[in-house]
Amino acid sequence: MPTGQTASPPLIDIRNAGVFRDGKWLVRDIDLELKRGEIVTLIGPNGSGKSTTAKLAIKVLKPDEGQVIHAPDLRIGYVPQKLAIDWTLPLSVERLITLTSPQKKRDIEQALEAVGIPHLAKAELRFLSGGEFQRALLARAMVRKPDILVLDEPVQGVDFVGEAALYELIEKLRDTSHCGVLLISHDLHLVMAATDRVICLNGHICCSGTPKDVAASPEYAKLFGPRARGSLAVYEHHHDHTHLPDGRVRHADGSVTDHCHEHDGHHHGHDHTQTVKAKGESTDAR
């Protein structure tokens, strides 16, 4: 077995898993190991199965093929992408934090302090702004002292400064509590900074590795368009494509495309199995 390179078994081990709904595979051939102290970031366009993969990892969704294995007594802290609470439910931030398990008053205060909203403990959820609400959700997930934090776009609606601070907090949390983190993000710059491993999804795993590896991979460029690759390169202090005078773009591997965002967004209409097989081949046919 290729596993066993490390002493500690993974917290979550997804093996060749797929989710089939309404006549199609939402994700397929997902292989993912998450270890203690590791931050793994999922990226991919809309509808690429990021949330599905996260739900697969925490066993909210059952795989229709393959399997998902959890370490025994795995404690999960989950921040869902959306949380619609009917206004008829009177829920304060404090009460939200104790939603799935009781918590000590001191721990709640500390968690709210950490996410920067200690003054909102008694505030009702429906009066919170988007950013405040996300912070409350993060506080709720972390107060449980989870073995693994699963965060589905945790900084949506948070302003830029707050975003950086929250990512720093997640990183600090990983360092102090040594938990694993599975993060879903659209935001490449800031996530990339703390993350150990990036997994690029598009119904299947397109490419994965260190942020640098993924940024350099042709699959990544194909999925997000060369511009994303450029912006990532800024972060890594390395440019790998050049804008030609005629508006076309030359990439590090010598290929030339018409413009930067030709492949932006959706990557639809592809037979995924074929795409998987094509992985590793040159992707610069265009």
Partner 1 sequence: MLDDFFTRALIAGVGLALTTGPLGCFIVWRRMAYFGDTMAHSALLGVALAFFFEINAMIGVFAVAVLISGLLLLLQRRDSLSTDSLLGILSHSTLALGLVMVAFMTWIRVDLLAFLFGDILAVSKADIAFIYGGGFAVLLVMFWLWRPLLAATVNEDVAKAEGLRPDLSRIVFMLLMAMVIAIAMKIVGILLITALLIIPAATARRLSSTPEQMAVFASLLGAIAVVTGLFGSLRFDTPSGPSIVVAALGVFILSLLPLHIFLPSTARGR
Max Cα-Cα span within the chain = 63
CB of 125 to partner 1, least distance (A): 9
In sequence order, which residues have a C-beta less than 8 Å from that of residue 138 and are 6 or more positions away?
79, 115, 151, 154, 166, 169, 170
CB of 127 to partner 1, least distance (A): 5
Residue placing its CB nearer to partner 1 in the complex, 21 or 248: 21
Instruction: Give the span between the Cα atoms of 133 and 139, in whole angstroms.
Output: 10
CB of 177 to partner 1, least distance (A): 16
CB of 70 to partner 1, least distance (A): 11
Instruction: Give the span between the Cα atoms of 157 and 153, in whole angstroms.
Output: 10
Residue placing its CB nearer to partner 1 in the complex, 74 or 252: 74
CB of 128 to partner 1, least distance (A): 9
Task: Write out the two tokens for 149.
Answer: 């934090």
Residue placing its CB nearer to partner 1 in the complex, 70 or 279: 70
Instruction: Give the span between the Cα atoms of 174 and 165, in whole angstroms.
Output: 14
Instruction: Give the span between the Cα atoms of 146 and 33, in whole angstroms.
Output: 17
CB of 208 to partner 1, least distance (A): 23
Across the beta sheet with 12-21, what order do the strands follow?
24-34, 12-21, 65-70
Residue placing its CB nearer to partner 1 in the complex, 147 or 219: 147
> Could you list the residues that contact partner 1 (CB under 8 A)?
55, 58-60, 75-78, 80, 83, 85-86, 88-92, 95-96, 99-101, 122-124, 127, 144, 150
Helices 160-177 + 130-143 axis angle, to 10: 0
Residue placing its CB nearer to partner 1 in the complex, 99 or 234: 99
Calculate ∠ Cα 185-30-145, nearest 5°.
55
CB of 148 to partner 1, least distance (A): 10
DSSP 92: B
Instruction: Give the span between the Cα atoms of 117 and 158, in whole angstroms.
Output: 13
Instruction: Give the span between the Cα atoms of 250 and 234, in whole angstroms.
Output: 16
Residue placing its CB nearer to partner 1 in the complex, 112 or 228: 112
Instruction: Give the span between the Cα atoms of 12 and 63, in whole angstroms.
Output: 14
Residue placing its CB nearer to partner 1 in the complex, 5 or 88: 88
